[in-house]
A and B are shown apart, each in its own frame.
Chain A
Amino acid sequence: MKNPFLDFRSLPYRKKEIPLERIVRAKQEVLEHIVEGYLRLVEEEAKDLVWLVEHSRVVKAYEAALKSIRDLHYDQDDIEEFCAELDSSHKIPYMISGPAGIYISALVNHSEEDRIVLRLQDYQRVFHFLGYRLPEGKTLVLQGDVGDFIGAGLSGGRLVVEGSTGNWCGAGMMRGEILVSEHAGQKTGEWMRGGEIHVDGMIRSVGKTLFGGRIYRRGRLVSPQPIGEHT
């Protein structure tokens, strides 16, 4: 009886390595490092998976985030992919919006690119603290609605939100500008020291304690309140 597999013997099995495999491998490695850094941050800063928004904790989390990404080489696509991983992947067992936003801000601030666009409207989750301490010379465009504390502590960068922001937008910002194309939540600009916030839609409420800076709604100055006007 003829061996039925003989016909296949003359067929050489050849697997070419195409660039795809190299690209995917390299990107996978970078993403794994980014994810690792985030998990370390959560482990250190949000023990028991509870994270309270306190100034000292925010600063500490940001410093820890910077430390873990110090030697990493990545680009905008990696940041975007990390956001997608946070949103839906099984690779990340827990996503805590506060530390996640601070970590993404650290990635943005530390990145070599000057302009970064993050498309957030497809995600189910909302990220807080995006644009935290965005430095001068950097532009961050956030497409879609975002969470609370957007642009907090902004340090001279330009933050464009193509959607609505949550509460405490621009809290404690120093310099730079925040442009919001839709609405802003409560306490917008609280503890603001400088810079400008421009909102095209409604502002639910402006922060009570402002040390400087200006807030505009549809091009009209709302804070500091112009002399003789009452809102």
Chain B
Amino acid sequence: MTQDLDKILKEIWPRVRRRHLFPELPAPKCAEGEQRVGLNIKGKKISISKEFVLEMSQVLKPQEVVEGLIDHAVSHYLYCPWDFSTHLKLYGEAKKVLKDKEMAKKATDYFMDVVADTHCVSQKDTPLPKIYRHMNRGILDEAIHALYQRIWGVDLGVEGHEGVSRKLSRLPYLDRSLWRESIRRFARVIRSLLEREERSGGLSRPNPMGSHKPQQYSTQEVDRGLQELASSVASPTEFKEIIHDFEDELLEAIHPTEQGMGLGRGRSLNADFLYYMKLAQNYFLYVRKTAMEKSGSLYPHHHVPWEVGKPYQDIDPWTSFGKIMPGITQTWQRVEGEVFGREEGTPNCIVIIDSSGSMIDPTKQLSYAVLGAACACDAYLRNEAYVAVYNFSDAAAGCRKILPYSRNRTEIYRILCHYFGGGTKLLVEDIEALQTDRVPDIFMITDMQITNLEILIEYFNQCRNRVTAVHIGDNRHVQAFRRSMGLRKNVGIYAVKKKEDIPRIVLGRVREYLYAARP
């Protein structure tokens, strides 16, 4: 049978592919599977259950079963959900109504099936309705198939479920812009059936056409989906709730790559910093590069009289009047100097973030401070630089976290997202300890309500670092800081009042460069 099925697949796939205008999908394969579930998709690879086809072959031609199943799977890729982000958004809406993870997952699965299949039936000649006609049905399947009868205008041999199918048939499944609203109503209508399924233990049974899980998408799609979800949700709490519900599947879907996701197998997902990590990836801050190449070579600095026994090669013939004579002959004294070359690069950065009580708790609401700092870290990391983080509240009382220079995103975000919520005092000694020979940039984000602000101003007045100071909101402390820093050429000050202000920040933008006049 497997050989036959492989042959059928080889024959059918080009036809289905052509019908769906050549989607970029690998050729489906047949695999051992459950009798009840027709399809399994993992990493965009479609597997067709041999048992399911075998069972259905008693009433339909195997070609029709295979063709219908592939039509269904391809429609998911081409229409609904299309990508992981849409999948998560639909789930989020269903969860708002149903308040239960399993029920919301089930409702999302069914909604996506209805949309994808309806799209397929309305646009292609597909044997899908034939499969639905002969499928084993649970309570919910019956209601959904009654809906199909109504909206596709075909007889699937279902009786009853008049009220539910009538209510469901009013939803504009083919209007993508209304999907979020539609799934809320869809979930409301099927809630009583889901509750019945839950009581009978039917919720854990997979959908006949297969369940939808994050594993069906590629890692990059999952990454992109999380990124889009982070920018579309109203608060970190909403993001956290959705991520928690998919935690196991997401961990399984994500490869343990540190750079891509900052996550690894065997660890739990920290949704708090994952939110900021993904949200920050939607922004792109520009880092002004600086001359990095320093040659410590010696250059002729001043003249000293030549003495017997000293080498001849340093003699300056112009000032020695062409004579080699002690007291008259002059030699060049060479001094080691800092000479900047042409190579530009990004220095490392010390990120200073204020997490005192006057700042927003990043786990409860979107914190512009954490987002801004996350974007800055992202920009430096992208440019191959290292980042040190100094998170402070009342530093003198021990409320501070310091991360030495690192490129480990997980660690960086963990420190950035820490919230103390106490007083606001900064210890410049801590920052001084992070200074290195190769002068790092400083990025500071705060509301400036720092009790020892004058000490910080004094420190910035003396330091050689390029400082990017970002203040959240406006107050008299901000004005004082702006006034004091007004003449400093190495300090750039930005205000962030809304999310949209963040991309305007240019990191390391100083008003004058030593080599500015160089051709």
Contacts and interface: CB of A to CB of B under 8 A. Distances in A.
Interface in A13-47: 14-21, 23-24, 27-28
B172 A18 contact: no
Interface of A: 7-8, 11, 14-21, 23-24, 27-28, 77, 80-81, 84, 88-89, 119, 122
Interface string B148-184: 0011110000000000001101111110000001001
B54 interface: no
Contacts of B153: 18-19
Given A8-B21, A11-B19, A20 B152 contact: yes
Given A11-B19, A20-B174, A21-B174, A119 B152 contact: no
A27 B170 contact: yes
A77 B172 contact: no
Interface string B9-33: 0000000001101100000000000
Interface string B359-377: 0000000000000000000
A126 B123 CA distance: 42
Interface in B262-289: none
Contacts of B21: 8, 11
A80 B166 CA distance: 13
Contacts of B40: none
A28 B171 CA distance: 10
B329 interface: no
A18 B170 contact: no
A18 B171 contact: no
B166 A15 contact: no
Given A11-B21, A24-B171, A24-B172, A18 B166 contact: no
Contacts of A18: 118, 121-122, 151-153
18 contacts: A14-B125, A16-B122, A16-B123, A18-B121, A18-B122, A19-B151, A19-B153, A20-B118, A20-B173, A20-B174, A21-B122, A23-B150, A23-B169, A24-B171, A27-B170, A77-B170, A81-B170, A122-B97
A84 B170 contact: no
B171 A19 contact: no
B244 interface: no
Interface string B61-79: 0000000000000000000
Contacts of A119: 188
B185 interface: yes
Interface of B: 18-19, 21-22, 97, 118, 121-123, 125, 150-153, 166-167, 169-174, 181, 184-185, 188, 191
Chain A CB within 10 A, most for which of B18, B150, B151: B151
A24 B170 contact: yes
A88 B123 contact: no
A17 B170 CA distance: 15
Contacts of B184: 88
B170 A122 contact: no
Nearest to B98: A122
Contacts of A89: 181
A15 B123 contact: yes
Contacts of A7: 18, 22
B98 to A, nearest CB: 9
A210 B315 CA distance: 121
Q: Across chains A and B, which 10 residue pairs bring their CB atoms closest together, nearest first? A: A20-B151, A19-B153, A27-B170, A24-B172, A18-B122, A23-B169, A122-B188, A18-B152, A16-B122, A77-B167
A160 to B, nearest CB: 17
Contacts of B150: 19, 23
A27 B184 CA distance: 18
B213 to A, nearest CB: 27
Chain A CB within 10 A, most for which of B167, B170, B181, B184: B170
Contacts of B181: 88-89
Nearest to B22: A7
B151 A14 contact: no
Nearest to A81: B170
Contacts of B172: 24, 28
Contacts of A19: 150-153, 169
Nearest to A31: B170
Contacts of B125: 14
A120 B13 CA distance: 48
B128 to A, nearest CB: 12
Nearest to A119: B188
Contacts of B97: 122
B185 A84 contact: yes
A119 B167 CA distance: 13
